[in-house]
């Protein structure tokens, strides 16, 4: 049995596990899945509902939103596709043994096991980018630029990987003009197409909103979200970088050093960070980890890599349980059951967006004003007074609130009665209210 066959067995096992443990989790995924479903049913992003990102994620997911399990399975296949593409790229650059360890380490990394199964937009964008990078290695710059453009219009953060592409071409002593020309033309023409289709609201939702709500020079809030996993990848990147410099291997130095630079750009460029923002350069980091583990003559370095991975997995076991076990996510199913029994199809919902959108997705209930992304960042951007006025005016039947939304909507809660309160994983309160 060769390395590729072993790798295929590993990803098939992962896919079976995903089918068995398909559950909603407290993440923005449910927002995007419900948006994609409503897009399939005829609503237009930007015009009919606020959407803070370019549209290709919704276009990609929409055909699979006939059931929650189906679209989750498709998302898992995309994540596994990123593993497969990491294998192919690593094999093209080095050999099959390096490719096997690169993709295997990527697979067992908790950051992949958690976020590779979530439709957060990052792995969808990464999927397109890795296809583009594979074509780049094959010297098909036109196709590479096309897929890089699909990635860019899935998540704009992919732009931060373009310097890596530029440096890769320079290190390979290849002409970069063709890639720059194709890439600039594709992005410009696609942006103009979307601007023509959706109007200025597309520019406002996807660019102005982020400058208002997300971009700020300084150390980001919630940096512990990064350190839970980034603490380990920092060590792995630094040791692989030192090993590459010792070997005078410029390509390995690039692939190990650039993820560190990327992480710094995110930490010092955004107001607050969540770990999935740091996903995009991971395949290149795991390629150098696989290379270092396969090629190093220092047995102690191999042991160090295995110890770091063991510590990373051990320290994130609780997070893995939260994203895989139904017991930690009962609030979704209990709210879904109550809404089905105690509301009609034309009743409106509003509140905390994660549980709200899952319940809307599976019960077919509508969300007030199609405010799928009812996070407080959007509410502040849209106008707190206007949102509060709309809620008070239209009086949704059901409110699903977290602590922040509870405080925001406190002035109107006199018209509602509390049905139940949940304490999700012992720190995230969820309140279910019904209008009196």
DSSP conformation letters of 24-72: --SSTHHHHHHHHHHHHTT--BTTTB--SS-THHHHHHGGGTTSHHHHH
Residue that wins the pLDDT comparison between 284 and 329? 284
**76 in Cβ contact with 18 (< 8 Å):** yes
Q: What's the pLDDT at 296? A: 83
pLDDT, averaged across the chain:
93
**18 in Cβ contact with 11 (< 8 Å):** no
| Start-to-end CA span in the chain (Å) | 66
What is each CA distance from 171 to 139, 221, 301, in whole angstroms?
14, 36, 26
Residue 272, judged by CB atoms within 10 A of its CB (0-12, 13-18, 19+), counts as middle
Beta strand pairing status for 348-351 and 366-367? Answer: parallel
Strands (E), 289-415: 348-351, 366-367, 398-401
The mean per-residue pLDDT over the stretch 172-179 comes to 90
Model confidence band, residue 346 (pLDDT cutoffs 50, 70, 90): very high
Residue 207: DSSP 8-state: I
The mean per-residue pLDDT over the stretch 97-105 comes to 94
Q: Tell me how far apart the alpha carbons of residues 17 and 58 are, in angstroms, rounded to a whole number.
A: 25
Q: Which of 13-22, 68-77, 299-308, 385-394 has the lowest mean pLDDT?
A: 13-22
- What is the b/e burial string over 30-63, where b = at least 16 CB atoms within 10 angstroms of the residue's CB? bbbbbbbbbbbeeeebbeebbbbbbbbbbbbbbe
Residue 74, judged by CB atoms within 10 A of its CB (0-12, 13-18, 19+), counts as middle
**32 in Cβ contact with 119 (< 8 Å):** yes
Which secondary structure element, helix H or strand E, spans residue 431, and what is its range?
A: strand 428-435
Q: Which of 54-58, 375-379, 421-425 has the lowest mean pLDDT?
A: 421-425
% pLDDT > 70, the chain: 99
Q: What's the pLDDT at 175? A: 87
Q: What's the pLDDT at 117? A: 87
Q: Tell me how far apart the alpha carbons of residues 318 and 322 are, in angstroms, rounded to a whole number.
A: 6
Model confidence band, residue 262 (pLDDT cutoffs 50, 70, 90): very high
Q: What's the pLDDT at 427? A: 59
Q: Tell me how far apart the alpha carbons of residues 356 and 370 are, in angstroms, rounded to a whole number.
A: 12
Q: What's the pLDDT at 425? A: 66
Q: What's the pLDDT at 173? A: 86
**112 in Cβ contact with 320 (< 8 Å):** no
Q: Which of 213-217, 309-313, 356-360 has the lowest mean pLDDT?
A: 213-217
The mean per-residue pLDDT over the stretch 352-363 comes to 96
Q: What's the pLDDT at 402? A: 92
CA atoms within 13 A on the CB side of 194: 24
Question: Residue 165: which residues within 8 A CB-CB, separation 6 or more?
Answer: 133, 136, 148, 179
Q: What's the pLDDT at 108? A: 93
> Using one digit for the tens of pLDDT, what is the confidence trace for 312-330?
999 999 888 888 888 888 9
Q: What's the pLDDT at 4? A: 77
The mean per-residue pLDDT over the stretch 260-281 comes to 93
Residue 295: pLDDT above 90? Answer: no
- What is the b/e burial string over 150-175, where b = at least 16 CB atoms within 10 angstroms of the residue's CB? bbbbbbbbbebbbebbebbbeeeeee
348-351: strand order across its sheet: 366-367, 348-351, 398-401, 428-435, 416-424
Residue 15: pLDDT above 90? Answer: no
> Using one digit for the tens of pLDDT, what is the confidence trace for 379-431?
999 999 999 999 999 999 999 999 999 999 999 999 999 999 998 765 579 99
Q: What's the pLDDT at 327? A: 85
């Amino acid at each position: 049995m060769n390395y590729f066959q072993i790798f295929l067995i590993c990803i098939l096992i992962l896919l079976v596990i995903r089918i068995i443990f398909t559950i909603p989790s407290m993440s923005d995924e449910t927002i995007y899945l419900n948006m994609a479903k409503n897009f399939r049913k005829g609503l237009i992003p930007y015009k009919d509902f606020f959407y803070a990102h370019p549209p290709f994620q919704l276009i990609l997911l929409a055909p699979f939103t006939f059931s929650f399990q189906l679209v989750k399975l498709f998302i898992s296949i995309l994540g596994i596709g990123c593993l497969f593409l990491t294998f192919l790229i690593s094999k093209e650059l080095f050999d099959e043994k390096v490719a096997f360890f690169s993709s295997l380490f990527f697979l067992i990394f908790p950051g992949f096991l958690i976020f590779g199964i979530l439709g957060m937009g990052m792995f969808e964008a990464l999927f397109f980018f890795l296809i583009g990078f594979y074509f780049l290695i094959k010297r098909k710059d036109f196709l590479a630029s096309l897929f890089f453009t699909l990635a860019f219009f899935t998540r704009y953060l992919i732009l931060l990987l373009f310097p890596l592409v530029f440096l890769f071409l320079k290190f390979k002593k290849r002409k970069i003009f063709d890639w720059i020309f194709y890439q600039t033309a594709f992005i410009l023409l696609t942006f103009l197409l979307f601007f023509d289709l959706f109007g200025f609201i597309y520019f406002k939702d996807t660019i102005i909103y982020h400058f208002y709500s997300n971009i700020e020079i300084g150390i980001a809030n919630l940096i512990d979200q990064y350190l839970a996993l980034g603490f380990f990848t920092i060590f792995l990147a630094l040791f692989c970088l030192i090993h590459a410099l010792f070997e005078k291997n410029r390509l390995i130095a690039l692939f190990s050093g650039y993820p560190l630079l990327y992480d710094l750009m995110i930490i010092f460029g955004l107001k607050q960070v969540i770990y999935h923002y740091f996903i995009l350069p991971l395949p290149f980091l795991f390629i150098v980890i696989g290379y270092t583990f396969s090629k190093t003559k220092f047995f102690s370095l191999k042991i160090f890599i295995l110890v770091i991975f063991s510590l990373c997995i051990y320290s994130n076991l609780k997070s893995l349980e939260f994203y895989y076990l139904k017991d930690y996510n009962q609030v979704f199913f209990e709210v879904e059951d109550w809404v089905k029994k105690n509301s009609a199809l034309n009743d409106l919902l509003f509140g905390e967006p994660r549980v709200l959108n899952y319940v809307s997705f599976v019960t077919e209930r509508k969300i007030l004003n199609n405010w799928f992304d009812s996070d407080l960042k959007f509410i502040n951007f849209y106008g707190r007074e206007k949102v509060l006025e709309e809620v008070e005016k239209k009086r949704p039947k059901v409110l699903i609130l977290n602590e922040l939304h509870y405080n925001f909507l406190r002035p109107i809660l006199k018209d509602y009665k509390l049905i139940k309160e949940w304490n999700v994983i012992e720190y995230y309160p969820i309140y279910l209210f019904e209008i009196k």
